[in-house]
Chains A and B, each alone.
Chain A
């Protein structure tokens, strides 16, 4: 009996020692919140990458959740990794943008703040309160989701910053008469009416009944247009709100989506009862979405077009984050997102539109600017900066989708921004009309109008497939691309093949004369570059169809095996 007792005691002693040695499974493996600098030369070993969870990309760095012991390893290996918060569990973090350094310093009066990149700081409070309800109105917010994992691309170089000045973009296609026709239908009077209607809700503060009513108004509007429309319900903090999602289903590729969006909630102070007309921010963008939907509903497109009015943007992009996360989880193919947020204030004339993208979405900015030049016209300012997270394009970036923000000025120059004086009469509606035209043209080019009410449909070739292979000698390698497609119905005289290295923009025709077969081979290409192709059909009346769906050169390489 005593032997048995001594064995039990010994076992207990050993267990006690082990627990003492490794409390809570080792403190060193606890996850901390850290800032990891982007380094062009850096290549983090694969076994480390799997342990790093990136939750936000900025221009020069990443915000990551990382085991504490790995932070030391990274530092020892020469990677700049600084601790933001050693105990992130259970906390609610916000990215706060404040271009004015003096105001940025004020953040510390409201909670914890760590400066990150450009004008962005990380902010949190110990009691986990909504930042929007305690921070002054001049701060832009984004709630950081810790449920996501952004692919960590540390081998690329950090983006060099803002590129100023209007872009000179080559024009990929001649003016499409259908798109010209659509653009001509944009009516300034409709935009004025829509903005007026939205500002008449007094406030669209996301937690209020007024915002709900504004949502109902938008739902009715889209429904009366004859569009399929639905509420997209989500919760944030202790509140519930709704995105309004209307759509025109695509004809030939309905699984691919183009999104035109704007947030319809407004804000002017931390009190929900305060007047918040939000004419520029963002009845203007919402009105543009409404007007574009009104026009586009009369046409058909290859891709599905979605018109989305997001809520709770002012609280930190809760609505768009919910939508983008759900879309990614459902495997939705979102080809491009055009987000309009504040598109009607002109501080100087002529006003230009800031077109803001992250590096992955640069092609979309180029496409938008090209469309704006040809159809609006509209002065634009091309900005590539992942740190500009204060609007609804940012959650789409987080999910790996291409998205752009169109905004009248960044940093914001509207003196009535987030005030009770953000009213219709302060806006430049000619500028808003041009932005609406440009957004419509860009979306239409992306979604590819396919006939419709006016032009008898000359359908684009379908079933475009691309296979590529690389041939090599000792010192040179070349890529050969083989395209096949299916002829559309009708009297087709031939086909044109267009190629680009920037997906969905900058196409160049590569056939010198009409291709008469439904195959095309493209030889002696650079093996280190991806090529994208579209094909158009030309009928016996010399009409050229809209482009087919775009394919990447290796899109169907799996079929080599068969």
Chain B
């Protein structure tokens, strides 16, 4: 049983979980799966999630947890291994903080958006109707921050990486319900007074449906 703490996963925890799941793969190889439930070749998914940024600066400006939308696709290559691709979108609004000196009450409204394209691999471990999976890969992220009361806006395009784990349960032959936790790291190399080097990574928990073909 995976336990989610209030702090979310640390990288070390994810690594441990990943190693345990990989070891389990030897014992639950799909060859053991019955002929009535063959692994699907293609899959499409849609999920809604809750994103919590790792950096306090982001949370101070935009709030602790923000909604996210995910569209994903996966193609099985061989055995339990699949290649996955996905798109994630986060849109939110917030307000500036006073960086220095820490007095006064001045806030400028902000809009923030981040779109991420992901590409990676996934290992699945079916257990009857259930399957658990681990995945990881790289991401290309386009973020955009705009001050609403002036023409100040900044775009950041940067590569990052992610690692995730989840479980799905088949509802029927094609449809399944899944839940997934993802840790992402997106170092933009840019920053300002609150945070000299902004990392747009964080922890995201999502729930969604997938279709198998």
Contacts and interface: CB of A to CB of B under 8 A. Distances in A.
Interface of A: 469-478, 480, 523-524, 527, 557, 560-561
A61 to B, nearest CB: 33
A181 B29 CA distance: 99
A472 B193 contact: yes
Nearest to B150: A524
Contacts of B103: 469, 560-561
Contacts of B33: none
Contact of A473 (B61, B104, B106): B61
Nearest to A523: B150
Contact of B193 (A477, A557, A560): A477
Given A471-B98, A475-B188, A476-B145, 15 more contacts: A469-B103, A470-B99, A470-B100, A473-B96, A473-B97, A474-B145, A474-B154, A475-B156, A476-B192, A477-B99, A478-B108, A480-B106, A527-B99, A560-B103, A560-B104
Nearest to A470: B99
Contacts of B106: 469, 471, 480
A472 B96 contact: yes
A213 to B, nearest CB: 58
A560 B100 CA distance: 11
Contacts of B11: none
B194 A474 contact: yes
11 contacts: A469-B98, A471-B107, A472-B96, A473-B96, A473-B110, A475-B145, A476-B147, A476-B152, A477-B99, A524-B152, A557-B101
A474 B191 contact: yes
A474 B198 contact: yes
Contacts of B191: 474-475
Nearest to B112: A474
A177 B193 CA distance: 45
Contacts of A478: 108, 152
A472 B97 contact: yes
Interface residues of B, number: 31
Contacts of B147: 473, 476
Interface in B65-119: 94, 96-101, 103-104, 106-108, 110, 112
A557 B61 CA distance: 24
A84 to B, nearest CB: 41
A375 to B, nearest CB: 39
Contacts of B104: 469, 560
B57 interface: yes
A474 B100 contact: no
A561 B57 CA distance: 24
B159 interface: no
A557 B98 CA distance: 14
B150 A475 contact: no
B190 interface: yes
A482 B98 CA distance: 14
A473 to B, nearest CB: 5
Interface in B29-84: 57-58, 61
A261 B198 CA distance: 54
A475 to B, nearest CB: 4
Contacts of A476: 145, 147, 152, 154, 192
A402 B154 CA distance: 39
Interface in B190-205: 190-195, 198
Contacts of B99: 469-472, 477, 527
Interface in B8-27: none
Q: Which 4 A-B pairs have the closest CB atoms?
A: A560-B103, A475-B154, A477-B193, A472-B193
Residue among A475, A477, A523, A557 facing the most chain B CB atoms (10 A cut-off): A475
A477 to B, nearest CB: 4
Interface string B170-213: 00000000000000000010111111001000000000000000
B192 A477 contact: yes
A108 B147 CA distance: 67
B94 to A, nearest CB: 8
Contacts of A523: 150
A16 to B, nearest CB: 58
Nearest to A471: B96
A88 B104 CA distance: 54
B192 A475 contact: yes
Contact of A474 (B98, B101, B108, B192): B192
Contacts of B188: 475
A524 B194 CA distance: 16
A473 B145 contact: yes
B117 to A, nearest CB: 20
A558 B171 CA distance: 65
Contacts of B193: 470, 472, 477, 527
Contacts of A473: 61, 94, 96-97, 108, 110, 145, 147, 192, 194
Contacts of A470: 98-100, 193
A469 B100 contact: yes
Contact of B195 (A469, A474, A480, A561): A474
B46 to A, nearest CB: 28
A527 B97 CA distance: 14
A424 to B, nearest CB: 59
Contacts of A472: 96-99, 192-194
B66 to A, nearest CB: 13
A474 B58 contact: yes
Contacts of A561: 103
A116 B86 CA distance: 66
Contacts of B195: 474
Nearest to B144: A475
A474 B61 contact: yes
B160 to A, nearest CB: 15
A502 B138 CA distance: 48
Contacts of A557: 101
A480 B57 CA distance: 20
A480 B104 CA distance: 11
B198 A475 contact: yes
B97 to A, nearest CB: 6
Given A470-B193, A473-B147, A480-B106, A560 B101 contact: yes
Interface in B130-157: 145, 147, 150, 152, 154, 156
Nearest to B192: A477
B49 to A, nearest CB: 20
